[in-house]
């Protein structure tokens, strides 16, 4: 205990938080749709967690607690700004061109399309897609993080996957043109 009556941040807890950072960052970037905003959210999440360490219950999952803090901070930020969407940095995408520039740019375009499609999902579905499909949590773990019944998690994920599939199906046909095969009998 610290002199103020709260729980101290132990070396073990600090170490566990540091180990969690890559997963927390993936979650935050998926929530925000932007690396810089994701990093800001991770920093804010860590500051909030450290300042309220007395609210964490030892024996419970630290990752679930931190994901919940990040999600709540993001929801607060979204409510305050009333902004929704994904920003695409065209110059950064063009800078990716390397030895196989076409493949790199196509991959980046596909990744941007997935991010843009996720931006259309309701917040609850986007969070679950991030937790289950990106971070690899089980349905049960995602239900614990979001404090949602597992059946609701499953139905929201099914709706989110259908929506993403519908939005991305058109993208792959239109945005990434396929090369035409040469016509038989012509030397091209």
Q: Please report, for the chain, the start and end positions of each structural domain, with discontinuous segments joined by +.
A: 1-83, 87-175
Please tell me the class of the 1-83 domain: mainly alpha
Model confidence at 177, pLDDT cuts 50, 70, 90, reads very low
Topology classification of domain 87-175: Arc Repressor Mutant, subunit A (1.10.10)
Is pLDDT at 174 greater than 60 in this prediction? Answer: no
Instruction: Give the pLDDT band of residue 3 (cuts 50, 70, 90).
Output: very low
Residue 183's pLDDT band (boundaries 50, 70, 90)? very low
Highest mean pLDDT of the ranges 65-69, 80-84, 120-124 = 65-69
pLDDT tens, 12-43?
788 889 999 999 998 888 888 788 999 999 99
> Hey, CA dihedral for 72, 73, 78, 79, is it positive or negative?
positive
Give the predicted TM-score (pTM) of the model: 0.56
Closest C-alpha to 71, from 83, 82, 61, 63:
63
Alpha-carbon separation of residue 165 from 4, 54, 92, 157 (angstroms):
52, 42, 26, 12
Query: Of 66-70, 76-80, 121-125, 151-155, which gets the smallest average pLDDT?
Result: 76-80
What's the pLDDT score for residue 47?
A: 93
pLDDT in tens, 94-131: 554 445 555 655 666 666 777 777 878 888 888 888 88
Euclidean distance between CA atoms 122 and 173, whole angstroms: 25
């Amino acid at each position: 205990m610290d002199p103020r009556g709260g729980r101290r941040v132990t070396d073990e807890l600090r170490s566990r938080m540091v180990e969690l950072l890559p997963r927390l960052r993936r979650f935050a970037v998926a929530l925000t749709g932007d690396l810089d905003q994701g990093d800001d959210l991770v920093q804010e999440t860590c500051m909030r967690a450290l300042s309220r360490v007395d609210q964490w219950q030892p024996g419970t999952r630290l990752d679930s607690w931190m994901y919940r803090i990040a999600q709540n901070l993001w929801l607060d930020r979204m409510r305050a700004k009333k902004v929704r969407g994904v920003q695409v940095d065209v110059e950064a995408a063009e800078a990716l061109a390397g030895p196989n520039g076409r493949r790199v740019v196509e991959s980046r375009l596909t990744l941007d399309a997935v991010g843009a499609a996720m931006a259309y999902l309701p917040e609850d579905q986007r969070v679950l897609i991030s937790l289950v499909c990106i971070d690899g949590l089980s349905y049960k773990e995602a239900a614990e993080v979001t404090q949602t019944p597992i059946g609701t998690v499953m139905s929201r994920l099914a709706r989110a996957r259908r929506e993403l599939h519908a939005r991305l199906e058109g993208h792959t046909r239109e945005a990434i043109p396929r090369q035409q095969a040469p016509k038989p009998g012509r030397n091209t």
